């Protein structure tokens, strides 16, 4: 099927070229028809055909500047760490060397079909406040078989290696699918007492426990079973791609699944795009191009990673049951004691239902209450959890505040305030005892001892 898809695309190449020529002819300002409804209709039909049959290339971030301390600051994205299946990009801001360093934030992008550029808005919103890094996953069909495989264990290893590369006091933000491997990675680092373990982790719209409020995506995995996925969606990369003969879950199949979930909305969007072109509404047409240039650009996933994720996360629920393994060792999130945890969900999320990400708090049972927080954003779906106006206005400020509070500097400030409060209380107590009349005995304290009660974590959810 993959080879047929490639052949179909190749056969349509002459027709796409003809559509491009038709569009150029009817949009040429020297052509009188370009200023008529008939000419714009012909150009619109040609563009719609070309865009509907194109294979979209990987987009660029195109984040060239930000505003820091009220000043426009140039930004350059540079790869600083690389493996065959991933690059770590650093959005380097041209700041004065004497300026106090901002917190380091590692954004772990989903490896679920779309490129990391889908989080362009996430990066852009955080750049004024943080030194931002992001995982840039590689299209599996471009990776030769000689570079080996990539599964869930490798994903966890990559996250651990990148956190170690960035060093202590790093803050990790996992968007959607990577919430599971990021929680696994931080759990393992806590078990190892790794000095580079992150100061905080933010899990956004992730499938930590898909038994909670299951969505259509979750139910599909349960109904089909892993054998159905292995037999129906796994294919070999065709010639002449660099990853020839690698088993993958193709991007075009993933895109079909994405679009089928809201097919009516996509059809309406393309119809509106056509009429924007006919009516010469440049702004409306350009908004459509920007969104769909990103949305329709997809990448292949390695078969072993995809199948292992489906089975462990969506079918067996291995993480919330305490059964998931990393390199043969059981992962124990209760080992996390000093990495602060913030979970964020969208009220109308139809991919990761409300409560699925919050389940991480139940697993991190030994984390103190002052190092955890949960937030549900009203009136947003899955995409709105990490992008859009409500993300910029309401979610991003909460992430920045959480990161600053639980970074090394924030903890030092809290410690100084606590010490000062304790000293003030002791001084007040001493002053009071000195002022008390000496011939009046202090009232006796009742016998007994104070017992600290530990509130137990919520019990496990059973199937």
The whole-number pLDDT of residue 210 equals 96
Residue 438 lies in a domain: no
Residue 415 lies in a domain: no
The whole-number pLDDT of residue 453 equals 33
Confidence of residue 256 (pLDDT cuts 50, 70, 90): confident
387 in Cβ contact with 121 (< 8 Å): yes
Block residue for tokens 């796994």: 234
User: Within this chain, do residues 291 and 396 fall inside the same structural domain, yes or no?
Assistant: no
Q: Is the peptide bond before 240 cis (omega within 30 degrees of 0)?
A: yes
Residue 416 lies in a domain: no
The whole-number pLDDT of residue 463 equals 44
The whole-chain average pLDDT of the chain stands at: 89
d(CA 393, CA 397): 7
294's tokens: 């990103």
Residue 308 in this model has a pLDDT that exceeds 90: yes
Residue 428 lies in a domain: no
The whole-number pLDDT of residue 274 equals 93
Residue 246 lies in a domain: no
Residue 261 in this model has a pLDDT that exceeds 70: yes
User: Within this chain, do residues 94 and 222 fall inside the same structural domain, yes or no?
Assistant: yes
Determine the average pLDDT of the residues in 327-345. 97
Q: Please name which of 137, 133, 174 lies closest in space to residue 154, comparing C-alpha atoms.
A: 137
Q: Please name which of 301, 332, 294, 309 lies closest in space to residue 237, comparing C-alpha atoms.
A: 301
Residue 396 lies in a domain: yes
User: Within this chain, do residues 111 and 177 fall inside the same structural domain, yes or no?
Assistant: yes
pLDDT tens sequence across 68-122 = 999 999 999 999 999 999 999 999 999 998 999 999 999 999 998 899 999 999 9
The CATH code of the domain that includes 173 is: 3.40.50.1820
The whole-number pLDDT of residue 408 equals 80
CB neighbour class for 128 (10 Å; exposed up to 12, middle 13-18, buried from 19): middle
Residue 8 in this model has a pLDDT that exceeds 80: yes
The whole-number pLDDT of residue 255 equals 84
Determine the average pLDDT of the residues in 384-401. 95
220 in Cβ contact with 207 (< 8 Å): no
User: Within this chain, do residues 165 and 285 fall inside the same structural domain, yes or no?
Assistant: no
Determine the average pLDDT of the residues in 314-324. 96
The whole-number pLDDT of residue 441 equals 47
The whole-number pLDDT of residue 432 equals 60
For 39, the domain range is 2-55+251-295
d(CA 140, CA 248): 7
User: Within this chain, do residues 271 and 222 fall inside the same structural domain, yes or no?
Assistant: no
User: Within this chain, do residues 290 and 312 fall inside the same structural domain, yes or no?
Assistant: no
Determine the average pLDDT of the residues in 21-30. 92
297 in Cβ contact with 58 (< 8 Å): yes
pLDDT tens sequence across 133-170 = 999 999 999 999 999 999 999 999 999 999 999 999 99
The whole-number pLDDT of residue 416 equals 65
pTM score of the predicted model: 0.86
Consecutive H or E run containing 5: helix 2-11
d(CA 75, CA 77): 7
213 in Cβ contact with 356 (< 8 Å): yes
DSSP string, 59-111: PP----EEEETTEEEEEEEEEEEEETTEEEEEEEE---TTSPPPPEEEEE---
Residue 366 in this model has a pLDDT that exceeds 60: yes
Q: Considering 410, 432, 456, which residue would you say is the last residue of a domain?
A: 410
**Considering its fold, how many domains does the chain have in total?**
2
Residues 158-167: b if buried by 16+ CB within 10 A, e if exposed: bbbebbeebe
Q: Considering 375, 393, 410, which residue would you say is the last residue of a domain?
A: 410
pLDDT tens sequence across 408-438 = 877 666 666 666 666 676 667 666 655 544 4
Confidence of residue 451 (pLDDT cuts 50, 70, 90): very low
Confidence of residue 260 (pLDDT cuts 50, 70, 90): confident
User: Residues 6 or more apart from 360 whose CB is under 8 A from it?
Assistant: 179, 183, 203, 206, 208, 333, 341, 343
Q: Considering 295, 317, 348, which residue would you say is the last residue of a domain?
A: 295
User: Within this chain, do residues 190 and 90 fall inside the same structural domain, yes or no?
Assistant: yes
Q: Please name which of 213, 315, 252 lies closest in space to residue 53, comparing C-alpha atoms.
A: 252
What percent of the chain has pLDDT above 70?
89
User: Within this chain, do residues 177 and 28 fall inside the same structural domain, yes or no?
Assistant: no
Q: Please name which of 332, 325, 309 lies closest in space to residue 187, comparing C-alpha atoms.
A: 332
The whole-number pLDDT of residue 112 equals 84
pLDDT tens sequence across 267-294 = 999 999 999 999 988 899 999 998 899 8
Q: Please name which of 406, 348, 335, 351 lies closest in space to residue 377, comparing C-alpha atoms.
A: 348
User: Within this chain, do residues 197 and 317 fall inside the same structural domain, yes or no?
Assistant: yes
Residue 445 lies in a domain: no
User: Within this chain, do residues 307 and 158 fall inside the same structural domain, yes or no?
Assistant: yes
d(CA 116, CA 138): 9
Consecutive H or E run containing 200: strand 200-204
Residue 446 in this model has a pLDDT that exceeds 50: no
User: Within this chain, do residues 31 and 158 fall inside the same structural domain, yes or no?
Assistant: no
261 in Cβ contact with 382 (< 8 Å): no
138 in Cβ contact with 408 (< 8 Å): no
User: Within this chain, do residues 121 and 46 fall inside the same structural domain, yes or no?
Assistant: no
The whole-number pLDDT of residue 440 equals 42
Residue 241 lies in a domain: no
Confidence of residue 444 (pLDDT cuts 50, 70, 90): very low
């Amino acid at each position: 099927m993959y080879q047929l898809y490639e052949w179909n695309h190749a056969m349509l190449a002459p027709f796409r070229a003809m559509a491009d020529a038709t569009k150029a002819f009817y949009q040429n300002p020297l052509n009188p028809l370009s200023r008529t409804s008939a000419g714009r209709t012909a150009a619109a039909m040609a563009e719609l055909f070309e865009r509907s049959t194109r294979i979209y290339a990987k987009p660029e971030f195109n984040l060239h500047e930000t505003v820091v301390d009220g000043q426009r600051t140039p930004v350059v994205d540079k790869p600083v760490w690389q493996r065959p299946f991933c690059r770590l990009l650093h959005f380097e801001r041209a700041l004065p060397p004497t300026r106090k360093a901002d917190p380091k934030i590692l954004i772990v992008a989903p490896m679920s079909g779309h490129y990391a550029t889908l989080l362009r808005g996430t990066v852009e919103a955080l750049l004024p406040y943080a030194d931002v890094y992001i995982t840039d996953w590689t299209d599996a069909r471009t990776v030769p078989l000689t570079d080996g495989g990539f599964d869930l264990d490798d994903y966890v290893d990559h996250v651990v290696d990148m956190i170690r590369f960035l060093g202590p006091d790093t803050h990790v933000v996992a968007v959607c699918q990577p919430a599971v491997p990021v929680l696994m990675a931080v759990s393992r680092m806590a078990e190892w007492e790794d000095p580079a373990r992150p100061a905080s982790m933010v899990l956004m719209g992730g499938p930590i426990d898909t038994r909670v409020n299951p969505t259509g995506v979750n139910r599909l995995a349960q109904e089909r079973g892993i054998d159905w996925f292995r037999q129906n969606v796994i294919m070999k990369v065709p010639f002449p791609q660099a990853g020839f003969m690698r088993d993958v879950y193709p991007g075009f199949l993933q895109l079909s699944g994405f679009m089928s979930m809201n097919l009516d909305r996509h059809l309406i969007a393309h119809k509106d795009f056509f009429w924007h072109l006919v009516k010469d509404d440049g702004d409306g047409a350009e908004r459509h191009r920007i969104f769909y240039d990103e949305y329709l650009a997809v990448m292949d996933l390695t078969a072993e990673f995809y199948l292992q994720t489906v089975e462990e996360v969506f079918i067996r629920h291995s993480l919330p049951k305490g059964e998931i393994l990393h390199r043969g060792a059981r992962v124990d999130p209760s080992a996390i004691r000093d990495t602060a945890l913030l979970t964020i969900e969208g009220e109308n999320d139809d991919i990761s239902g409300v409560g699925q990400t919050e389940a991480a708090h139940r697993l991190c049972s030994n984390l103190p209450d002052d190092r955890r927080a949960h937030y549900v954003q009203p009136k947003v779906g899955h995409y709105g959890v990490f992008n859009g106006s409500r993300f910029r206005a309401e979610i991003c400020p909460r992430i920045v505040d959480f990161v600053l509070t639980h970074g090394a500097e924030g903890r030092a400030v809290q410690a100084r305030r606590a010490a000062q409060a304790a000293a003030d209380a002791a001084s007040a107590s001493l002053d009071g005892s000195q002022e008390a009349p000496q011939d009046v005995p202090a009232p006796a304290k009742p016998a007994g001892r104070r017992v600290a009660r530990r509130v137990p974590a919520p019990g496990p959810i059973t199937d």
